[in-house]
Amino acid sequence: MTIEIRNPAEHEWRDAMRMTMAVFGDEPRDEDFERHNKMLLRERFWAAYDGDVPVGTAADFPFTLTVPGGELPAGGVTWVAVQPSHRRQGVLTQLMRRELDDIHERGEPLAMLWASEAAIYGRFGYGLAAPHFEMEADCARFAFRDDPGPQGRVRMLSLEDAVEPVMQVYDRVRTTVPGFIGRPREWWTTYRLADPEHWRRGASPKYVALLELDEQPAAYAIYRVKGDWEAGFPKGTVKVVEALADSTVAERELWRFLFGIDLTVRVESRLDPASPLFLMVVDARSLRLTANEGLWLRIVDVELALAGRQFASDQSVVLELRDEFCPWNAGRWRVGREVARTDDAADLELGIADLASVYLGAFSFARLAAADRARELRTGALARADALFRTERPPYCPEDF
């Protein structure tokens, strides 16, 4: 079987998208094609063709990713799918090969994705980079420790009126948290604040609550309510699409609002691992938190990625990197004030996916070594590397794509 990997021609693009939607069991709609045509770039959309039939796809958005101390361009990998008829025949590997080569040729040092199946992407050099918690909290047991009482004001906004104030809050937070992506206005209106009926899955339309402190936007929640009744009693669920606050006070008041919505008994949300909520409440167990691997990161160009990241100490460490899929990264690298190849003896040995796991600050080299994911070659190297890569807070990515 001969497979051709290429960008679809304009007249072929819709058929390639339709194939991807079918793999995920989605029903294609004209409005979906129009939405995706706004944000996807055809030159960054790859399709695998068996003859003239699309049998696989992979695409990436041209994102900007917040990294410790700065921002870097990153390909946001998405639309990855292979027809059931062509699974386990190397189609995905060919798509990943072409896509990572393209990102590398563009001079973008990072690629990232959310995995529909977590077991797939490690073999292509992606590592767990920004875990988060999934919360299914019990409203009846929700209460704050040493509660100072409500502060600020909450306003309900239409989706159209919400764009500017939520962008203000998001952009203030984005620069301080590794793992956040830049969102242009069109991303907000096309995806995050869009609300086609088939996205609701039996829940309400999207609502937006804006918290103001000192008459300034300080937090927001985008959410739905899925109503339910049992023996005459309300059993609804608040399904939080996104909740973001720019201070501890704002976070407390935002969750006070969400847990106080009438006719509901549960709040479901993704939760930043650095959120103070766990320590704010009387009964942390009632939050019912489950760990999730979250964002996966692929270092496409080691030199550019490490040079674009801020380090926390003046020390340096020599890393021996393995990278079978992108061999231009393999070898010894001195990392510190300068990032460069070296012939010096290595201090630590690890694979490229494991370097991705420490890159944003989610894990330490010591934790990698404890899991047999890194090997210390010189005594004290783990401690030096951890001091070098230390971050003020763990990463978090509120956007899946």
Q: What is the dihedral of CA 16, 22, 24, 26, to 10 degrees?
A: 110
Helical H segments across 89-174, by residue range = 91-105, 159-174
Owner of token pair 């004001």? 153
Q: Check: CB of residue 298 under 8 Å from CB of residue 112.
A: yes
Domains in the chain, CATH or no CATH each? 4-108 (3.40.630.30), 143-282 (3.40.630.30), 299-389 (3.30.1050.10)
**Which ranges of the chain have pLDDT less than 70?**
none
Q: Is 63 a catalytic residue?
A: no
Q: What is the pLDDT of residue 347?
A: 98
- The values of phi and psi at residue 288, to 5°, are 50, 70
Q: Is 223 a catalytic residue?
A: no
Q: What is the pLDDT of residue 28?
A: 86
For the entire predicted model, the pTM comes to: 0.96
| Active-site choice (121, 126, 257, 359) | 121
| Separation of alpha carbons 79 and 41, rounded Å | 12
Q: What is the pLDDT of residue 289?
A: 98
Owner of token pair 């001195």? 334
CA distance from start to end of the chain = 31
Q: Check: CB of residue 72 under 8 Å from CB of residue 175.
A: no
